[in-house]
Chains A and B, each alone.
Chain A
Amino acid sequence: EPEVTQTPSHQVTQMGQEVILRCVPISNHLYFYWYRQILGQKVEFLVSFYNNEISEKSEIFDDQFSVERPDGSNFTLKIRSTKLEDSAMYFCASRQGAPGETQYFGPGTRLLVL
């Protein structure tokens, strides 16, 4: 069964460093998302992406964040200058077509900023 994959599974970085989190969505999916979950808190929406453009972004998704689909398979989240409060589990998700269809999630990347 097709699935969303994410790399790395864990990343430790120093405050101020740039990180890139990678996702490979399901191959025939057209809509892509990033969510995050700070330890002990809710899963929160960050950004949605369709047709090589951001569709919607949350207040969390400030200028330090960017997303890109550099080729036909990868979908990346970049944090330019990490802060301690960026430590969280980051989930990528994708869905196929019509609004309201199921979003399929990857296993997540646990980011720790020291």
Chain B
Amino acid sequence: GNSVTQMEGPVTLSEEAFLTINCTYTATGYPSLFWYVQYPGEGLQLLLKATKADDKGSNKGFEATYRKETTSFHLEKGSVQVSDSAVYFCALIHTDKLIFGTGTRLQVFP
């Protein structure tokens, strides 16, 4: 079946550190892949997406590359800020419904 696996959190970093949040997927075919972010007290916001293999999605300094060979879509940011503290969800689309990973909480300290 279709599923998404994310690294367990929380991820705790100091400001300006490099961030990687791992995401791998299992899917039939090559679905579009997404990263959503949930800031405290808010809903899910689309952070970035990629629709086909080798596509790179980017937004607000975050990047993720759709890797067909490794079935991965890892989220990276070169220098995190305190304001990036949130829960990050990796997801794929299958028959018009999103299938999410468990979410990874990121905590950034000054």
Residues of A within 8 A of B (CB): 4, 6, 31, 33, 35, 41-45, 48, 55-56, 58, 91, 93, 99-100, 102-108
Contacts and interface: CB of A to CB of B under 8 A. Distances in A.
B45 interface: yes
B96 A102 contact: no
Nearest to A4: B43
Interface residues of B, number: 23
**Chain B contact residues, majority secondary structure:** strand
A21 to B, nearest CB: 13
A91 B100 contact: no
Contacts of A91: 43-44
A100 B45 contact: no
Contact of B102 (A42, A45, A106): A42
Contact of A56 (B45, B51, B89, B96): B96
A17 B3 CA distance: 34
A26 to B, nearest CB: 13
A45 B99 contact: yes
Q: Which 5 A-B pairs have the closest CB atoms?
A: A107-B43, A105-B44, A45-B97, A43-B100, A105-B43
**Chain A contact residues, majority secondary structure:** strand
Contacts of B91: 43
A35 B98 contact: yes
A110 to B, nearest CB: 10
B43 A102 contact: no
B70 interface: no
Contacts of A107: 41-43
A104 B98 CA distance: 11
Contacts of B99: 45
Contacts of B32: 100
Nearest to B99: A45
Interface string B83-110: 0000001010101111111110000000
B29 to A, nearest CB: 12
A27 B85 CA distance: 31
